[in-house]
Amino acid sequence: MFLLIITIYLVIISSNANERLPKLWNEAPSSISDYPFVKNDSTTSHLINPWLYLDRLGLYKILIITTTPLMPFCSISNASNILFGLPAQFSWQFDSNRLFSNGTQQISIDSWWASANYYLSVIPFLAAVDVGIIQQGSFQIVKQGNFCSNSDECFRQVPEAMIKWRQFFSNLSQPNYCKNDYIDDRIIDKCYLNPMWSAHVASIEHALPLIASKVSLLPSYNEQQFGLGWANIVDFLGMSRENTNLSKVNIYQDEFFPKRMLTVDDKPPHCSDLSKTVNQALELLFSIREEWFPELRILWKRATCNFESRQDAQHVIETVAISKSTAAAYYSEAILKSYLHKCDQ
């Protein structure tokens, strides 16, 4: 009996751990009216400062609250929302001081990570407002440096990203979008993860050149290599259409992401304050040369060309840092299935 209670307790703890909310989630604004009100001549609006952690987190919270009812597989919980991976990543950046907040909630405009994340927070938010899924009155976004702060300006700065995010949200808002008898993983892959990843990858691709000057402000060459390597890997996650719900992303982050910025002295797999799997992931990432990525991308495109192959490709990603032979077996399976089943066009 005692053992049973312990077991149930542990099961509850572990499932809650995976659905752990981003840091300070409950304190972030839940609607535009939660942002401070500013009176400006004849107009009044709410002022959003995306260079404050809670303000930017609030953009995510509003996105998640408004899109959860539009994703039929989220009826049980917001944690199933595939946009939850974004604030989970943002929270990891905050916790590891990658936003250069140094114990405050002020995000530094010098932070490469915060700058990249701008295009994964403000951009999708503005796109969602554009297509009308967020309709909560007028707001203004505080402008800093070269970052675009309204829809027109962002459309001029990163048109492909804006178009793809708008397309994703506008599809979501169609009442008959991908209506099926029941929602299975295949539908989630095709109708939700596909357009979401397409927008996500466009944001990163078009952000990188705009923020290139900030790479050198990262505190070590190791951290630079990690950041740029990660930006490449995201493309591979997108091609395999990883689910980016809260629990899945939390599991990945706990397993593979360094909880602090890397220093000049870090020599993975020998970082004693990082876990074994984080060390293994870093060792792998550092072993891939930048110039290999184009070739790897071609191979990966084949290995992820249909739904069946993508399931194995996801296992490759989950195992490759830990066991090359297991990953190789999954990779062969993925390639096999890319021939057994028709590739998506």
Q: Determine if 38 is a binding residue for ligand NAG (CB under 6 A).
A: yes
Cβ nearer to ligand NAG, comparing 190 with 269: 190
- Choose the stretch contacting ligand NAG; rule: CB under 6 A; options: 6-14, 165-173, 262-270, 330-338: 165-173
8 A C-beta contact, residue 99 and residue 261: no
Q: SS3 of 316, please?
A: helix
Which of 33, 216, 41 minimizes the C-alpha distance to 135? 33
What are 182's two structure tokens? 């029941």
Cβ nearer to ligand NAG, comparing 72 with 269: 72
Cβ nearer to ligand NAG, comparing 230 with 293: 230
Compute how many residues bind ligand NAG; rule: CB under 6 A: 25
Which of positions 273-292 make contact with ligand NAG (CB under 6 A)?
Answer: none
Question: Which residues of the chain form beta strands (DSSP E)?
Answer: 37-40, 43-48, 139-141
CB of 179 to ligand NAG, least distance (A): 11
Q: How far apart are the first and last CA of the chain?
A: 55
CB of 101 to ligand NAG, least distance (A): 7
Per-residue binder mask for ligand NAG (CB under 6 A), 46-65, x = binder: -------------------x
Which of 106, 104, 34, 99 minimizes the C-alpha distance to 65? 34
What are 184's two structure tokens? 């299975």
Q: Determine if 171 is a binding residue for ligand NAG (CB under 6 A).
A: yes
Cβ nearer to ligand NAG, comparing 119 with 192: 192
- Please report the DSSP string for 196-227 in residue order: HHHHHHHHHHHHHHHTGGGGGGSSSHHHHHHH
Q: Determine if 77 is a binding residue for ligand NAG (CB under 6 A).
A: yes
275 to each of 100, 231, 234, 264, 332, how far by Cα in Å? 23, 22, 22, 18, 29
Q: Determine if 100 is a binding residue for ligand NAG (CB under 6 A).
A: yes
Per-residue binder mask for ligand NAG (CB under 6 A), 197-226, x = binder: ----------------------x-------
8 A C-beta contact, residue 288 and residue 310: no
What are 65's two structure tokens? 């609250």
CB of 81 to ligand NAG, least distance (A): 8
What are 209's two structure tokens? 């050149």
How far is Cα 343 from Cα 345, in angstroms, rounded to an integer? 6
Q: Amino acid identity, residue 183?
A: I
Q: Which of 248, 310, 315, 337 binds ligand NAG (CB under 6 A)?
A: 248
CB of 3 to ligand NAG, least distance (A): 27
Cβ nearer to ligand NAG, comparing 150 with 283: 150
How far is Cα 3 from Cα 184, in angstroms, rounded to an integer? 36
Q: Determine if 106 is a binding residue for ligand NAG (CB under 6 A).
A: no
Which of 114, 123, 122, 110 minimizes the C-alpha distance to 213? 110
What are 153's two structure tokens? 């300006």
Q: Which of 68, 222, 225, 311 binds ligand NAG (CB under 6 A)?
A: 68
CB of 64 to ligand NAG, least distance (A): 7
Q: Which of 66, 78, 115, 279 binds ligand NAG (CB under 6 A)?
A: 78
Cβ nearer to ligand NAG, comparing 18 with 288: 18
Element (H, E) at 146: none
Residues engaged in binding ligand NAG (CB under 6 A):
38, 40, 65, 68, 74-75, 77-80, 97, 100, 102, 140, 167, 170-171, 191, 194-195, 219, 243, 245, 247-248
